[in-house]
Amino acid sequence: MKKVDLIILIFILTIGLLLRLYKLNIPLADLHSWRQADTASVARNFVKNGFDLLHPKYDDLSNVQSGIDNPQGFRMVEFPIYNALIAASYKAFPTMPLERWGRLISIVFSLVTILVIYLILLKEKGRISAFFAGLIYAVFPFFVYFSRIVLPEPMALGFVALSVFFLYQGDTKHVARYTLYVILSLIFFSLSLLIKPTTIFFALPLIYIMVRNHRLRILKNPLFYIYFLLAILPIFIWRNYIRLFPEGIPVNEWLITSVNTGGSLQRIYFRPSFFRWIFFERINNLILG
pLDDT of residue 238: 97
Q: Which range among 68-77, 240-249, 277-286 shows the weakest confidence by mean pLDDT?
A: 277-286
On the question of pLDDT at 100 being above 80, the answer is yes
On the question of pLDDT at 288 being above 90, the answer is no
Average pLDDT, the chain: 91
On the question of pLDDT at 37 being above 80, the answer is yes
Burial pattern 127-166, b for ≥16 Cβ within 10 A else e, equals eeebbebbbebbeeeebbebbbbbbbbbbbbbbbbbbbbb
Length of the chain: 289
DSSP of the chain? --HHHHHHHHHHHHHHHHHHTTTTT--S-STTHHHHHHHHHHHHHHHHH---TTS-B-S--SSTTTSS--TT-B--SS-THHHHHHHHHHHH-TTS-HHHHHHHHHHHHHHHHHHHHHHHHHHHT-HHHHHHHHHHHHH-HHHHHTTSSSSSHHHHHHHHHHHHHHHHH--TTSHHHHHHHHHHHHHHHHHHHHH-GGGGGGHHHHHHHHHHHHGGGGGG-HHHHHHHHHHHHHHHHHHHHHTT-GGGS---THHHHEEE-SSSEEE-TTSHHHHIIIIIIIIIIII--
Angle separating helix axes 175-195 and 203-214, nearest 10 degrees: 170
Rounded to an integer, the average pLDDT of 102-121 is 97
User: d(Cα 48, Cα 60) in Å, to the nearest integer?
Assistant: 16
Pick from 217, 210, 165: which is nearest to 187 by CA? Answer: 165
pLDDT digits (tens, 9 = 90+) for 157-198: 999 999 999 999 877 778 888 899 999 999 999 999 999 999
Q: Judge contact between 87 and 43, C-beta under 8 A.
A: yes
Rounded to an integer, the average pLDDT of 12-22 is 96
pLDDT of residue 80: 96
Q: Model-level pTM?
A: 0.90
pLDDT digits (tens, 9 = 90+) for 216-262: 888 888 888 999 999 999 999 999 999 999 999 987 766 667 766 66
